[in-house]
Structure 1
Amino acid sequence: MLTCLLMAILCYSLQKNWATITADKQMEVTQRILVYPDELKFNGNFMTGTAIDIQTGQREAITMSFKSPQMLKNIDKLTTPSIWLINGQLKPIIPRTNENQFDNLTYNHHRRICNQVQINRVEQIVRQKRGIVGWCHTLRKRLSLYFETLPPPLSAYCQQLIIGSSNEDSAELMVSIKRLGLLHLFCISGMHIVLFTDLLRRLLVHLWWRKESIDLFLIIILPFYLLIGGGATSLIRATIMAELGLLHRYLNLDRLDGWALSLLIGLVIDPLLLLTLGGQLSYLLSFILQVLPESVRGFKQSLLLNLISLPSLLSYVYEVHLLSFGVSYLIIPLFSTIVFPAVLVGALSFKLFEPLTYLINAGLKCFQYILNWLSDFPGMIHFGKPPLILALLLFAASLFVISQDTSLKSWKILALLYVITGGIIHLPLNGEVTFVDIGQGDSIIIREPFNRRVTMIDTGGKLNFKKPDWATSKHSQDDAQRITINYLKSKGIRQIDNICLTHHDADHIGYLTTILDNIAVKRLIVSAGMERQPALLNKVRTAEKSSPMIIPVTDNVKLSSFPLQILHPFVPGEGKNEDSLVLAGKFGGKRFLFTGDLDQENEEKVIQKYPQLKSDILKAGHHGSKTASSYLFLQTVAPKYAIISAGRFNRYRHPDEITIKNFQRLNINYLSTQQFGMIQYVYHGRNGKIKTTLRGDETSWTLPNYLHN
């Protein structure tokens, strides 16, 4: 009880301190910052990392876009800590703006970071004296540069397994690993510490070291490896437990006491530790290993560990592969006895006996081929995100099963709970119309009750400007993957019935290939004439999984099993703004109108042809541009709410002040994804309500004055 109280006090004091030091707006700054070279990551010409403000001592997230390959090379090749004199913008970290999106703000709070600095110019770089901590960071960076010279996939294995780092080459490596639920093998954790200390102990025994000297050496070296290995949550836990194990004879702690003490120390380091997937899995699985009887080993142990971790995994990744329960049992012995030692030998032998390195690399290619082959097997269950209360209930039931593992009745109860939870996720009583905060673009998801039909209007996208080869990102996850696909998976949605593409601009169809590669799609509905446009056809052809039917439409077309009425275009066009699909529908007692990027001239043609057209909720045309949402159109349609989908700091200055004034003159409530993030109308029967991911004040510093209500 006292421990819980102390943790609550610590969390409260941290939150209060974060609120004090967090910037409330963007401001120009000139700072001296301490930068450790291994904490910088590069993707094309873009750099991210962390640094310490010399004046305040606060950790900050830093970003920079390089203008020249030489400057990029100079920074990337830094191997020692250095102090930079920089000019840039200090600003708050924007929280997650969509439901179930990765929360960058919370992630940085775990690292004691509250602000970010966008570096415009580096005026000076002065190398710093290393010290013990600096020496560890230098070694980690030099190891990273050395590993980059190794052949793939050995290079990526070394980065992941020896120093806990990732680079562009490891992105492809991790796809199959994640699908099979083997991520814990490739994140430095307890297993790696055990293997590392075991190999080191054997080496020192062969060198005739005494046991006491070996233990003392390991006690001293493990904290340094914590820094060299990247300091991940699981590594902190494993290092603390390893230290306590080595100090066992002095502290007289049993295994559970050691686990509890490691948890307390971990919570002091990061009070939000157990709110992360890594923290939950690391401490949970290590706890189960402490309490399982010695008789429970092999496949049974693997099954129980997978079972106990399943509620946490589903709460964060929303899906699980059936092969995970068997593959981990087969792969873990192979990994610990062959793969991990082979990676170490391959890294060491590259300068001494290169043929051995290439032989090991060939073996790793075969291992990776097997993982890719297994991950392509059918069996991926898109379960969705369980409600918190049900996730806790599933966890409690799993603990009960472990304690009563011979009872068939307990297994039946657990299975029934999963069936009920899956039914609640996949057959919801409510429906929703969701305006995704996809940046400078449009993406709207209409999900009807019981998920009987899912319709998407536009996919969002970015304009891709030509970059030189040195500045091009080799591996980058687009917003559709991070936001839209993530959201659909969290709702247990495996299939989209209709994707309506209003016109061919990149900010409306740019992420189509990503959607098709990740979610089954039945039909693509496009404005007539657009089905011949290369911008669309190329995206459909390059998709590797879905091959939907393309249906061109005008307002005369009536589609079966389609929840919307088509109001525009009247005749075939070329998929331009003036040819935009205009769609209307009624959900939860409210009339919705979606106008794409339709211009004012054609808006007026729509209301001339449909003079009785009314709307309760209007998706403002062309992201709130003055080229759309004419006063006459708004007056005729008379919406109560207008939803503006536009990106923060967009180059077009959307929404336009003229559009906002039109809304104000007609007493139309307007909500912008810039300010409120994802905007949802959630309904049950004929009743519903609007909910937003943000309150509206979190990103107010990003908005022009006329957007403040």
Structure 2
Amino acid sequence: MVCLKQPQILIGNLVFALCFSLSVINFQRSFQSKIYLKQTPITGQLQVYADQTKVNGNLVTLEAYCPQIKQKVQAFYQLKNQDQQQWWLENQANLQVDFTGKINGINVPTNENEFDYRRFCETKKIANSIYIQAASPQLEKKPGLVGKLHEVRRRLMLYFARLPQPLGNYAAVLLIGYQPQVFADTLDQIRNLGLLYLFCLSGMHVFYLLLVIKRICRLVKLSQEATNLLTLCIIPVYALLGGASLSLLRASGMIFIANLMKLLGVRTWNSLNSWSLVVLVNLLVNPAVVFSLGAQLSYLLTLMILIAPKLSDIKLGVYLNLLSLPLILWQTYKWNLLTMALTILIIPIFEWLILPSVVLGTMCHWLRPLCNQVLTACSLGFTLLKRLPMEVVFGKPPLIIVCFWLGLTLLLLVKPKKRLVICLLLTYGLTFMMIHLPLTSEVVYFDVGQGDATLIRDKFNRTVTLIDTGGKVAFTKEKWQVRQSKTAGQTVIANYLLSKGVGRIDQLVLTHQDSDHVGNFPSLSQVITIKQIFIPAGMEKLPSFQGRVRQARLGQTKIWPVTVGNSATLRQVKLLHPFTAGKGTNECSLVLWYNLKRTSYLFMGDLDRANELVLLAKYPNLTATVLKAGHHGSKTSSDPRFIGKIKPQLVIISAGRHNRYGHPHPETLATLAAANIPYRLTAQRGMIKIETDFFGTKLVDFAQQTGTSSFLD
């Protein structure tokens, strides 16, 4: 109606829509043209700011500019000794790194709802990764103003690392926007409580900085014009020192524009105009920011405050949660019931306790012990709150529903009506039921690289069984070489389960002891509740398995060593092997059979050829519609006589791209070809899913779902 009454607004919106569409098309074409589709040798130089280096064990990660290809890249370099590690840890200068290596496009996700690292890099305008084979770093001799600011930020990082902890970690996060690796657990707790926005540099922190500037200017009796001019100079500097995150750039941009308009004497300019201009510039310069949760929350929550500036603290907290909830569910699939109350209660604590403790502890040596104790108590409080059973696994709502919730919440903010509240609550309830009571059963073969992980999920989520967890083969490393990172158990399996509204595994079946089958079990247990674990009898005595049990978070989880005839507690699937206790080796692998509506599935673990024939002798009538090939398609499994007798209509092979073992072996593929049996390989197809509902059974692989011919070069 407003647009019809004021045609200039309609024309303006149409012009912006056209410009934005052209900007997106141009951005995507430009970005896609930069991607190296195949690994390519490259020699050149990287220009690296001092604060854009991260050391994780024996791996250095760099965000750098490469003049040879005229684009920003992410580079990885494996350190050869501890002296090199120490040099990179202590370096405070910008670098020019001469290197030889290989460049390739950043990998796309190959599993449904896996964290999309390529899209994350796209928000930083990074299209490629360089794997450095040889490097010669040299200090930049004459850095410019921007380069000097990056060096100052790096020095602050090192200074905060030397402070008592957690004071130094809080200072790094709240003052310069840097998140130390050692602070990751605390930040995860804060994130799960829904309070991470307080600990990301944004409008609140810039507001405090602006308040300090104004008070200092008043003390020295500077004029308003001089204060505005000083603010214009300081805000961009702080944006760089704070890491130039999307939320910080939004806040800094708004304040910069507002002060500029004051200096120019534009009296009709307001905060909503500043917000709109920053949004326009951001979307036109980098359209990929719309995919960033931080940017989404920053812009939307700021818009809400601008639309309704006179809300009470309680109403503000409620609306902040209502507006952020759809986006958080879309990205993280869960919600903590304490978040709404904590949002209201913690802002005063943050303003009057946490932030002052960080500032005073950083600047005043004699107050440092007291401030550190205060922050230690805060961290303990976050830990205790996180342990309360208040987290609800909601699942991933459809995008159209997310947009509907956002629109309805904004409408409710402008016109609060009971009918809108009822509609909002009703759609949340119906969406929750739709996710948690699916009408489809499924068997999911995850792509976990060179490993194995398969999910069986009945309709209505009645029983959830996971067969193996994937994992990496562990090689002996010195302490300084060990890296801290999330596993595929967390980023692939847990993400998928949570997105489907599943927060527990009823049965975790670990087929045998190998790391590529059970290595992710401890990390997965930190995210997903595991009710029962089934292992081949004898494996429970192995030191390697006992070590993993100690690392896991199991609580009341029961561990059942099983053999055929001694597996009464195992439901949903039938155990076919082993017949006697062993040592958890390939020869002792658990073999499982599952049947659903005339489609039968056989899961072989890493069972060898000899025991495949023993299995046939024990079960002469054994057949399967879908066979999970043993040992990743190795020639030590899939005996031609076994394949000929089972007569599967489809074989699934789980193996990693370019793996060192040559899986699947040509001999195995020849066996399948001779029997005229098709196969699908996770290395090529990504996650493979077989769904069964009232209408029948269908097979969907992730490459097909995303319109990709193959993930394998």
Which TM class, normalised by the smaller chain length? Answer: over 0.9
Equivalence for 2:636: 627
Separation in 1, partners of 2:280, 2:475? 50
Separation in 1, partners of 2:409, 2:441? 31
* 1:272 partnered with 2:288: yes
* 1:375 partnered with 2:386: yes
1:559 is paired with a residue whose SS is coil
Name which of 569, 578, 583 aligns with 1:569: 578
Mapping 1:390-539, distance limit 5 Å: 390-405=401-416, 407-473=417-483, 475-539=484-548
> Post-superposition shift, 1:206?
2.0
* 1:231 partnered with 2:241: no
Equivalence for 1:216: 229
Name which of 669, 691, 698 aligns with 2:700: 691
- Equivalenced residues, count: 696
Separation in 1, partners of 2:556, 2:684? 36
> Post-superposition shift, 1:558?
5.6
Name which of 351, 375, 389 aligns with 1:336: 351
What percentage of aligned pairs have identical amino acids?
Answer: 35
Bigger shift: 423-432 or 338-347? 338-347
> Post-superposition shift, 1:443?
0.9
Name which of 540, 548, 551 aligns with 2:549: 540
Separation in 2, partners of 1:133, 1:423? 52
Q: Which runs of 4+ in 1 moved over 4 A?
A: 695-703
Separation in 2, partners of 1:126, 1:255? 43
* 1:62 partnered with 2:75: yes
Separation in 1, partners of 2:331, 2:366? 42
Separation in 2, partners of 1:665, 1:546? 49
Bigger shift: 528-537 or 374-383? 528-537
TM-score (norm 2): 0.94
Bigger shift: 607-616 or 498-507? 607-616
The residue type paired with residue 262 of structure 1 is V
Equivalence for 2:670: 661
Q: Is the 8 A contact 2:201 2:248 kept in 1?
A: yes
> Post-superposition shift, 1:342?
2.5
Separation in 2, partners of 1:302, 1:194? 19
Separation in 2, partners of 1:156, 1:694? 41
The residue type paired with residue 38 of structure 1 is D
1:36 is paired with a residue whose SS is strand
Separation in 1, partners of 2:104, 2:430? 44
Equivalence for 2:317: 302
Q: Is the 8 A contact 2:444 2:454 kept in 1?
A: yes
What are the superposed Cα offsets for residues 25-61 of structure 1, whole Å, 9 maximum, x if unpaired? 1122111111112111111111212111122321111
Equivalence for 1:158: 171
1:264 is paired with a residue whose SS is helix
> Post-superposition shift, 1:663?
2.1
The residue type paired with residue 142 of structure 2 is K
Equivalence for 2:209: 196
Separation in 2, partners of 1:148, 1:537? 35
The residue type paired with residue 348 of structure 2 is P
Separation in 1, partners of 2:404, 2:470? 37
Q: Is the 8 A contact 2:258 2:270 kept in 1?
A: no
What are the superposed Cα offsets for residues 486-528 of structure 1, whole Å, 9 maximum, x if unpaired? 2111111122111111111111112222233322222212222
Change (3 A) 1:685 1:603: farther
The residue type paired with residue 443 of structure 2 is V
What are the superposed Cα offsets for residues 441-479 of structure 1, whole Å, 9 maximum, x if unpaired? 111111111101100101112222222222223x43222
Mapping 1:95-106, distance limit 5 Å: 95-106=108-119
Name which of 297, 310, 314 aligns with 1:281: 297
Bigger shift: 573-582 or 354-363? 354-363
* 1:254 partnered with 2:263: no
What are the superposed Cα offsets for residues 108-153 of structure 1, whole Å, 9 maximum, x if unpaired? 1111111110011113525242112111211111111111111111
Mapping 1:36-185, distance limit 5 Å: 36-185=49-198
Separation in 2, partners of 1:273, 1:518? 28
* 1:386 partnered with 2:397: yes
Give unpaired runs (5+ residues) of structure 2: 1-13
What are the superposed Cα offsets for residues 398-455 of structure 1, whole Å, 9 maximum, x if unpaired? 22332333x3332222111111010011101112111111122111111111101100
The residue type paired with residue 427 of structure 1 is L
* 1:364 partnered with 2:375: yes
Equivalence for 1:706: none
Q: Is the 8 A contact 1:83 1:128 kept in 2?
A: no
Q: Is the 8 A contact 1:588 1:684 kept in 2?
A: no
1:38 is paired with a residue whose SS is strand
Over the aligned positions, Cα root-mean-square deviation in angstroms equals 1.9
What are the superposed Cα offsets for residues 180-199 of structure 1, whole Å, 9 maximum, x if unpaired? 10110111111111112112
Separation in 1, partners of 2:217, 2:191? 36
Q: Is the 8 A contact 2:47 2:65 kept in 1?
A: yes
1:94 is paired with a residue whose SS is coil
The residue type paired with residue 394 of structure 2 is F
1:98 is paired with a residue whose SS is coil
> Post-superposition shift, 1:560?
5.5
Q: Is the 8 A contact 2:443 2:455 kept in 1?
A: yes
Name which of 306, 314, 324 aligns with 1:290: 306
1:111 is paired with a residue whose SS is coil
Give unpaired runs (5+ residues) of structure 1: 704-709
Q: Is the 8 A contact 1:314 1:385 kept in 2?
A: yes
Separation in 2, partners of 1:554, 1:665? 34
Change (3 A) 1:117 1:101: same
> Post-superposition shift, 1:72?
1.9
TM-score (norm 1): 0.95
Equivalence for 2:593: 584
Separation in 2, partners of 1:55, 1:558? 62
> Post-superposition shift, 1:75?
2.6
Separation in 1, partners of 2:424, 2:467? 39
Name which of 295, 311, 319 aligns with 2:326: 311
Equivalence for 1:707: none
Separation in 1, partners of 2:293, 2:438? 26
